[in-house]
Structure 1
C-alpha cells in the first residue's frame, strides 16, 4: 500500500497543477488571463478558494491609523479613520506570467471574488466611508484589498486623569461566520511598522497623538465554535495644552488672588465683599468651562475634583473673613474683658507660634501723664467750706465758685476720658485677638493650598510618565 501511495502522489500533484493551469489560460495576442478562464473563477465566488477545504485560508491584516475623528467620553465611543489592508491567497487565481505576456498583476472587481468576512467586533455604528470596488491579484494567487474604514468603536475610556489621560482602545479583527477551521488571521506587518506608518499621518492631527500600536492573536469561543481573532491595542494620548491654558491657569490665577486678598485689612468690610465677588466670578468661570470637561456616568475627572476643592477653599476663606470680622466688629465684645483662657491660648501661645509682635500700648503713657496733669485738680486741694487755701509754696489762693465748678467739670472729663481709654484698651485687645487668629488661619490656608497643589502636580506627573 505504501508503494502504491508513493506511485500515485506525483500523479495527484500533476493533476492539481494541471487543474490550476486550466483555470487561468492565456492566449497569444492577449495580455493576461483570458476572460473565459476568469469567468469560471467568478462563477465560483460563493465558495472558499481552496482545493483542500480542510486547509484554512490565511488572511493577513494591517491598518494605518490616519485620523482620530472624535472621542465621546459620555457614550464611551472612539471614532477613527483607518486605511485597512487585507491579504489572502486565492488558489484558483494562478497563472504563468511568461505565457501571459509578462503580466504579473491585475485588478478585479471585489464583488466578483470571494472575500473573507473580516469585521471589527467593537463596531457600534454603520460604516459610512467609501468602499474600494477593486482588488489587486498577483500571478501567485495572492490578493491585496485596500479600503478606507470609518470606525466607530466602543472603548472603555478612563477620564480620571483628564487632561493628561492616556486611552487604550482595542480593535478586534476576525471572521464573522467562519471558524478557525476555515479562516485564520494574522498581522501583515509588525506592530512597530504599523505604529511608524500611523505616526507619520497623525503628526498634525489635533488633540490626540498616537503612542503605540500593540497586538496579539487569540481564539474566541462561541459555544462549540472557535474563531480566530487578532486584537490591536491602540494607545493614544491627549495633548493637554488647550485645557491647561483655558482651565488650569485661569483657575490658578483666581486662587492666587484669593490668597493675596488676606493682605487686605481684616477690620474692613472690603475684604469680605472682595471674596464674595471672587467666588461669584469663579462660579461663572466653572459654568462657562463646563462644556470642556468630559462627563461619564461611572467617574469624575480629577480636574473636576480640583475645581470643586478650589471653590470649597475659597468658601472657607470667606468664612474665615466672616469670623474675623465678627470678632473685630461685634459691639458687645468691645466692652468686655478678654477671657483669661483666650489671653493664654491666643495672645501668648499662638502669638509666639506665629511670631506676632504687639505694638506698644499707649494707655500706660496716658496714665503716667495723668499724675502730672496741671489741669486736673485733686479733691484734697480744695474744700467747699473754705474761702482760702494754701499751696505747697505757702502762697494763698482764693476759693471762688467758678473755680470749684471748673474743677468739677475737669474731674468729670477725666473720668470720661478714663472710660474711653479703657474701652480703647479692651478694643485693642480684641483687635489683637482677631489679627492673631487671622494670621494663623491664613498660614494654615496657605499650607493646605500648597500641599494640595503639590499632590495634584505629582499625580499628574505620574500619569504623564506612564
Structure 2
C-alpha cells in the first residue's frame, strides 16, 4: 500500500471541505451577490424535497415554547394555547463560505423554499395567529422556521376532581402527507429545557398554570403507510383558590348553620321556618354560582355531588323537623306504634345514636267493669233494706195512729250511690285511656328523637368526610411534582 504524504492528505481534506462549504460562488461579500447565487440555486430545490436521494428521509426537528394559556373549555373539550413553533431542516447540497459571501445566515421568503407540511393532529379551529413571511437560511444549508401558532386543540378533560383537577393535553406534530420514509420527525429540545423556557416567557396568569411538559416520539400506522410524529404532553393545573372562596366556603357555612339548627327545640315552629329559609338561600346560591361549575355530558364533578347531597340533607332535615313537630302536637291521636318500627328504631337505631333503649313498663292497668254478681248484690241489698224498713214501720204503727210516710231515704241514697259509681267508672276509664294514649305518644316522640339524633349524626359524618376529601385532593394537587 502506497504511503500517503501528510501534505497531500491536508490538501485533499482542504479541497473536500472547500467544495462542501463553498458550493455557492459569491462574486463579492454583498447581499446582492448572495441573493443572486441563492436565486439560481433555490429555484431548483423548492419543488421537491431537498435531498440527494429520494430513498433518504429528511429529518425535521420540532420544538415549541408555550407562550400563553388562553383557556380550557370543558363543554367543548378544547384547549386554546399560543405557541412558538420552531422547525429546522437541512437543504442538502446548499452551502456557502461565510467570508466570501459576507454572512453566515440570511432571511429568505418562505415561498422561495420547500417547507415541510408539519401540522398538529389535534387542531380543532383555524389558526388565527399572525403570519411570518420569512425564515432563516444558514450557510450550512440549515433552515430555521420560527413562527407563532394559536392552537385550538381537542383535549380529553377529566373534571371529576374540579376545582382541584390536573389536565393532560397532547399536541402531536407530524407531516400531513409525507410518510416516515420521506420525513422523520425529531425532538428539538429536552422536556426540561422546554418547560423552563415556557415558564420564563409565559405571559398569562389566569385560571391555569403550566405544571409540566413531556415529549415522546411516536408513529401513526395506517393502511396506506407509517407516519413519524413527535407528541408534546402539556400538563396544566387549575388554580383552585377562586372556586374555594366563591363556592366551597359559602356552601360549608350554610351547611354548618343548618347543622347547628339541630340545637333548636324540635317541637318549635321556629326551627322549621329557619330551615326553610336556609334551603331557599342555598338554592339561590346554587343558581347564582351555576355558571362557575363545569358542564360535560360524560363525567359529573365531585363538587356537584357535594352540592346535591348538601341540598338533600337540608331537605331531609326539614322533613324530619316537620315529622317531629307533628308528633309533638298530634301524637295522642295516633294509633299504637307498629311492632317492627318500635323494634327497629327504639331497640337498634337508638343504640347506634347512643340513646339507651326504652324499657317496657311492668305496670298493669286494670279496667273496672260492673259484673253480674255486683248487680245482684246491689239488688239484694236494696230489697233487703226496703223490706226491713217496712217491717220496722209495721211494728211501731200498732199503737200509734198512722201518719203520712215521708220519702224513703234509702232509695235516695241508693240512687246517689249509683250515680256516683257511674261517674267514678267514667273517670277511671278516661284516666286509663289517657295513660294508654300517653304511652303511645311517648313512643312516637321517642321515635322522633332517635330520627333527629340519627340525622344529626349523618350530618356530622358527611361534613367530616367532605372536609377530609377536599383537603386530600387539594394537598395532592399542590404536591404534584412539576
Q: TM-score range by the shorter chain?
A: 0.7 to 0.9
1:316 aligns with 316
Give yes or no for contact 2:122–2:171 (8 Å, CA) kept in 1: yes
2:85 aligns with 84
Deviation of 1:332 after TM superposition, in Å, equals 3.5
1:115-141, Cα deviation, whole Å (9 max, x unpaired): 111111111111010011111111111
In 2: Cα distance, 1:133 partner to 1:27 partner: 28
Per the alignment, do residues 25 and 331 of structure 1 end up closer, same or farther by CA in structure 2, a change over 3 Å counting?
same
Per the alignment, do residues 308 and 257 of structure 1 end up closer, same or farther by CA in structure 2, a change over 3 Å counting?
same
Deviation of 1:46 after TM superposition, in Å, equals 1.4
Deviation of 1:221 after TM superposition, in Å, equals 2.1
Per the alignment, do residues 185 and 350 of structure 1 end up closer, same or farther by CA in structure 2, a change over 3 Å counting?
closer
TM-score by length of structure 1 reads 0.75
2:304 aligns with 304
CA RMSD of aligned residues (A): 3.5
Deviation of 1:111 after TM superposition, in Å, equals 1.5
1:442 aligns with 456
Per the alignment, do residues 352 and 106 of structure 1 end up closer, same or farther by CA in structure 2, a change over 3 Å counting?
closer
Give yes or no for contact 2:88–2:145 (8 Å, CA) kept in 1: yes
Deviation of 1:345 after TM superposition, in Å, equals 8.1
Per the alignment, do residues 329 and 63 of structure 1 end up closer, same or farther by CA in structure 2, a change over 3 Å counting?
same
**What runs of 5+ residues in structure 1 fail to find an aligned partner?**
1-9, 358-407
Per the alignment, do residues 352 and 239 of structure 1 end up closer, same or farther by CA in structure 2, a change over 3 Å counting?
closer
In 1: Cα distance, 2:28 partner to 2:350 partner: 109
Three-state SS of the structure 2 residue aligned to 1:106 is strand
1:40 aligns with 40
2:3 aligns with none
Per the alignment, do residues 263 and 140 of structure 1 end up closer, same or farther by CA in structure 2, a change over 3 Å counting?
same
In 1: Cα distance, 2:338 partner to 2:91 partner: 98
Matches within 5 A, 1:54-65: 54-65=55-66
Deviation of 1:92 after TM superposition, in Å, equals 4.3
In 1: Cα distance, 2:180 partner to 2:352 partner: 77
In 2: Cα distance, 1:194 partner to 1:32 partner: 38
Matches within 5 A, 1:174-323: 174-202=174-202, 205-323=205-323
Give yes or no for contact 2:71–2:80 (8 Å, CA) kept in 1: yes
Give yes or no for contact 1:32–1:100 (8 Å, CA) kept in 2: no
Give yes or no for contact 2:324–2:445 (8 Å, CA) kept in 1: no
Per the alignment, do residues 156 and 347 of structure 1 end up closer, same or farther by CA in structure 2, a change over 3 Å counting?
closer
Per the alignment, do residues 195 and 32 of structure 1 end up closer, same or farther by CA in structure 2, a change over 3 Å counting?
farther
1:49 aligns with 50
Three-state SS of the structure 2 residue aligned to 1:67 is strand
How many residues are aligned here?
400
1:329-365, Cα deviation, whole Å (9 max, x unpaired): 116348x8889999998779877876669xxxxxxxx
**What runs of 5+ residues in structure 2 fail to find an aligned partner?**
1-10, 357-419
Three-state SS of the structure 2 residue aligned to 1:330 is helix
Give yes or no for contact 1:203–1:209 (8 Å, CA) kept in 2: no
Give yes or no for contact 2:81–2:150 (8 Å, CA) kept in 1: yes
Per the alignment, do residues 340 and 307 of structure 1 end up closer, same or farther by CA in structure 2, a change over 3 Å counting?
closer
Give yes or no for contact 2:164–2:473 (8 Å, CA) kept in 1: no
